[in-house]
Every structure is written in C-alpha cells, then in structure tokens.
Amino acid sequence: GQNIDQPTEMTATEGAIVQINCTYQTSGFNGLFWYQQHAGEAPTFLSYNVLDGLEEKGRFSSFLSRSKGYSYLLLKELQMKDSASYLCAVRDHNYQLIWGAGTKLIIKP
C-alpha cells in the first residue's frame, strides 16, 4: 500500500527554526509537494521537489532524498502566522497525489 508519514503535531518558539519530516512509501515517484493549511482554509502550495537536494524559498526550504523516501520542510525565523498544518504529498506513478495527514505546527511567543 501507499503511505505518507509525518508527525501529528509540533511546537516551536517564535523566531526559532523547525524541521517537519515526511517519509513515504508509494507506487512510483513523480515529485513531492509541501502545502500549508491554516485552520478553516484551503491548502496553499509551498514547495515542490523532484530531484534530490534542497530547494530554498525565502524562510522556507524543502529537502528530498528519493533513495530514503524522505523529505523535510525547514521553516526559519518562525512567525506567529506560521501556525498552521503542513501537508506532505507525493505524486505516484499514476500522477495522483497521495497525501499525509498533516503536521499541526503550534508557534509560541
């Protein structure tokens, strides 16, 4: 079966750095996505990795290791508005997105 694992909840302090991990087992691989979802709102796109390595976009970076079936999302200089759920999704061999349950990130002052 296909499976995406990420921690259910994490807590971090404003101004700090947090790393959210995602491991996956899917039928094929055609890219990994990270989305942010604030409570009661729709998911919004953060990053996309298809090759191994680090993709940096402002305060957010995403890393991929295809051989390990592993990715992480790194958030720097945390702000209160970063409190949200972060969803990891993998596009499988049928180009369908398989979603993790999401990691709820709580930012404390």
Partner 1 sequence: TAGITQAPTSQILAAGRSMTLRCTQDMRHNAMYWYRQDLGLGLRLIHYSNTAGTTGKGEVPDGYSVSRANTDDFPLTLASAVPSQTSVYFCASSDLENTEAFFGQGTRLTVV
Q: Which range, of 13-21, 43-51, 54-62, 70-78, touches partner 1 by CB under 8 A?
A: 43-51
CA distances from 10 to 20, 32, 40, 43, 51 (A): 8, 21, 19, 18, 27
DSSP line for 15-43: TS-EEEEEEEE-SS-S-EEEEEE-TTS--
**Using rule CB under 8 A, residue 61 touches partner 1:** no
Give pairs for 48-56: CB < 8 Å, separation 24+.
none
Subset of residues 17 to 36 that bind partner 1, contact rule: CB under 8 A: 30-31, 33
Residues 105 and 18: beta-carbon distance below 8 Å: yes
List 21, 23, 83, 96, residue binding partner 1 (CB under 8 A): 96
List 25, 28, 38, 41, residue binding partner 1 (CB under 8 A): 41
Least CB distance from residue 15 to partner 1, whole Å? 29
Q: What residue ranges bind partner 1 (CB under 8 A)?
A: 4, 30-31, 33, 41-45, 48, 50, 87, 89, 91, 95-102
